[in-house]
Amino acid sequence: MAPATRKTRLHFQSMALDDVPLGRNGKHGDIVRRILADLEQLGLSEAVRVPLAELAAGKEKVRSALNRATRKKGLRVATASDGEFLYVWNEPA
pLDDT digits (tens, 9 = 90+) for 16-63: 888 877 666 667 888 999 999 999 999 889 999 999 999 988 899 999
Judge whether residue 81 has pLDDT over 70. yes
Q: Residue 2: helix, strand or coil by DSSP?
A: coil
Angle between helices 29-40 and 59-73 (to 10 degrees): 60
Q: So what's the pLDDT on residue 86?
A: 96
Judge whether residue 1 has pLDDT over 50. no
Q: So what's the pLDDT on residue 3?
A: 57
Q: So what's the pLDDT on residue 70?
A: 95
